[in-house]
Amino acid sequence: MLRLAHAAMAVLALAACALAACTPAGAVPDSRTVTITIPHSAFGPHELDVRAGETIRFVIRNTDPIDHEFIVGDQTVQDAHERGTEAYHPPRPGEVTVRAGETVTTTFTFGGEDLLFGCHVPSHWAYGMRGTVLVG
């Protein structure tokens, strides 16, 4: 009888877990990791698909021998950084400096609009060092 009770409790616990969409302790729901590489002053990939409300943990690997940056935002944000004077970015969500040969991380939670990402080291944006985030 005790085994039957334990089995029933286990079934109920599994059902509750399934209904609650159980995630491991400390996990963030609706999040995933995306790796961006920077070879030869370009981003790879240069286009991403995300869901509205999704938090992306970006891992940015700079294999170039020069520094870059990774800025996520709309055109207004990109324009401000293109005119900006920050030589290096303190870690802020969606804004990091990526020194030559380094790997850094940043997170960003997407709303409902498509956004851009880019590098605003002088001439890099104009050179085409940018990409698109399509939010669906």
CATH number, domain containing residue 61: 2.60.40.420
CA distances from 86 to 30, 38, 120, 121, 126 (A): 32, 20, 10, 10, 18
Residue 92 has what pLDDT? 86
Whole-prediction pTM? 0.75
In a domain, 19, yes or no: no
Q: Using CA atoms, how far apart are residues 114 and 48, in angstroms rounded to an integer? A: 10
User: What percentage of the chain exceeds 90 in pLDDT?
Assistant: 71
Given a cut of 80, is residue 19 above it in pLDDT? no
Rg (CA), the chain: 20
Give the number of other CB atoms < 10 A from CB of residue 132. 14
pLDDT one-digit tens code per residue, 96-113: 999 999 999 999 999 999
**Helix, strand, or coil (residue 43):** coil
In a domain, 6, yes or no: no
Q: Closest Cα partner for 84 from 115, 122, 118?
A: 122
| 80 φ, ψ (degrees, to nearest 5) | -65, -40
In a domain, 118, yes or no: yes
pLDDT one-digit tens code per residue, 50-98: 999 999 999 999 999 999 999 999 999 999 999 987 777 777 899 999 9
In a domain, 130, yes or no: yes
| Domains identified in the chain, total number | 1
In a domain, 88, yes or no: yes
Domain that holds residue 59: 27-135
In a domain, 50, yes or no: yes
In a domain, 94, yes or no: yes
